[in-house]
Amino acid sequence: MIRRCSPLVARASLALAAAACVAVALFFIRPSFAPATPPEGGPRLAGQARLAGQSQLAKPAQPAALARMLPVPGMLALTDGGIVVPLGWPQDKTAEPGIPDGFEGQLIVAGRGNALSNCHGWVFTGGRYWIPIESVDTILNDNGYKLVATPLADDLIVYRGDDGRPVHTGIVKAVGDDGFVLVESKWGKHDIFWHTRDKQAFGTRFEYWHSDRDGHLLRLSNQTMPATSGPARGTVGG
C-alpha cells in the first residue's frame, strides 16, 4: 500500500523536494523484506540508536572487515584546522554497480558510483578518494560540526558500530513529519543511493551533525606525505 508522503521541511530546492516526495512514496511500497547481507567490503557493525525517538530501526548488521588502502601519491587532505587526513584508493578498483541483494524496492539509485571513494570519501572529497573511518571524528571535530537531535537538509548522518567508530556517513537530503529523514549516501563500491535513515546496511545507531561551514569538502593539497613501506591498513567503512 502506498502512503501519502509527509510535507518536507528542507533547505533544498523545490525540485529536490518534489523528488524527495516521490522517493517517500516509493519507500512505502513495502514488499516482503528479509534482512539483507550488507555490501561486500562495506561496514557491518551495528549498535543501538543514539538519540531518543528512534525506534523500529533496521535490524543490526554484521561486523565490518579491514581493507587495504593504497596511499595516493602526492595528495593529502586537510581539515579547517590543518590536520592531515590520509587519502587512499582500494587495491581492487572494481566497482559493484546496482542495488545490493535484499534491498530491492528499498533504495533509489541517485547516481552511479565507482570504486575510487567510499562513503566518507564521497562526503568529504566529492567522491575522489577513500577516507579511513579513523579520520571521520577528527573531521567532525576540527571542521566545527555539532551533534544535533533534529537534522536539517544538508546535515550529516553518521552510523556507528558497537565500538563507537563511524562505519557509514551520508547527507540528509530532506526531512518531514513523523521522523521521516531522506538520506543520500554511497555504499562502498556500490552506487549512490537515496534511502530512509532505517533502510540501510549499517546498523541502528546513528546521529546527526550540523555545521555552518560552506559544504562538507576537505581542502585537498598536492603536498607529499612521508613515504610508507607499503599499503596502509585501515578500516575503510562504507
Residue 236 has a pLDDT of: 60
Residue 148 backbone phi and psi in degrees, to 5: -130, 155
pLDDT at 24 over 60: no
For range 47-74, the mean pLDDT: 45
Q: Where in the sequence is the domain holding 147, given as residue range(s)?
A: 41-234
Q: Which range is least confidently modeled, 14-18, 37-41, 101-105, 202-206? A: 37-41
Does any domain span residue 79?
yes
Does any domain span residue 20?
no
- Residue 155 CA to residue 214 CA, distance in Å, equals 11
pLDDT tens-digit series, residues 177-196: 888 999 999 999 999 999 99
User: How many folded domains does the chain comprise?
Assistant: 1
Global confidence as pTM: 0.69
Does any domain span residue 11?
no
